[in-house]
């Protein structure tokens, strides 16, 4: 079981690394996902994710794709887009991934930053996953 600390990691790189580990059959726990970052202009990123949340299927709006507001669920949604579609491998790989907002008490392994998982020094504009989810309407105390 590998434990990855997502503090300061780039979300896309972390998601692709996580998807690859899960497809290889390894169980992955990711902690502090709210502190991971998406690089780019924060206004454009917020507009992009707000537009995704408001897309609806015209024939039956209940069948529309649901984009979550919580950081841990949003990250799992991003990872699921990097897995094979409509196959048993996708379900098995998603079941191997555990994502936490903080550091859970039951997790005994001390995480280390992994350079393959997107831990780099960020010099560009960025927004954290928690800030993005707050803009999407996530309330922390709910």
**Confidence class for position 24, pLDDT limits 50, 70, 90:** very high
What pLDDT does residue 91 have? Answer: 94
- Mean pLDDT, the chain, integer: 87
Closest CA to 34 of 122, 103, 109: 103
Give me the pLDDT at residue 44, please: 95
Domain residue extents for the chain:
2-136
Q: Would you state the pLDDT for residue 109? A: 62
Residues 2-136, CATH architecture? Alpha-Beta Complex (3.90)
Q: What is the DSSP string of 26-83?
A: --EEEE-GGG-EEES-HHHHHHHHHHHHT---SS-GGGSPP--SSHHHHHHHHHHTTS
What would the pLDDT profile of 114-129 be if each residue is shown by its tens digit?
666 666 667 678 999 9
Would you say residue 12 has pLDDT above 90? yes
What is the reported pTM? 0.85
Beta-carbon-side half-sphere exposure of residue 104 (alpha carbons within 13 Å): 14
- Per-residue burial over 15-48, b if 16 or more Cβ lie within 10 Å, else e, is bbbbbebbbeeeebbbbbbbbbbbbeebeebbee
The more confident residue out of 115 and 45 is: 45
Q: What is the pLDDT of residues 61-111, one digit of tens each?
A: 888 888 899 999 999 999 999 999 999 999 999 999 999 998 887 776 656
pLDDT of residue 106: 76
Does the pLDDT value for residue 36 go beyond 90? Answer: yes
Q: What's the rounded Cα separation, in Å, for the pair 20 and 26?
A: 9
Residue the block writes with tokens 């992994």: 114
């Amino acid at each position: 079981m590998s434990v990855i600390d997502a503090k300061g990691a780039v979300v896309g790189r972390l998601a692709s690394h996580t998807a690859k580990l899960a497809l290889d059959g390894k169980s992955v726990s990711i902690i502090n996902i709210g502190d991971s970052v998406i690089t780019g202009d924060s206004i454009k990123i917020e507009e992009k994710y707000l537009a995704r949340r408001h897309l609806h299927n015209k024939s039956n709006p209940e069948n529309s794709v649901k984009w979550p507001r919580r950081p841990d669920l949003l990250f799992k949604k991003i990872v699921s887009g990097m897995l094979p579609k409509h196959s048993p491998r996708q379900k098995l790989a998603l079941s191997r991934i555990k994502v936490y907002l903080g550091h859970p008490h039951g997790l005994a392994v001390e995480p280390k930053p992994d350079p393959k998982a997107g831990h780099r020094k960020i010099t560009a504009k960025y927004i954290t996953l928690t800030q993005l989810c707050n803009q999407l309407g996530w309330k922390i105390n709910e």
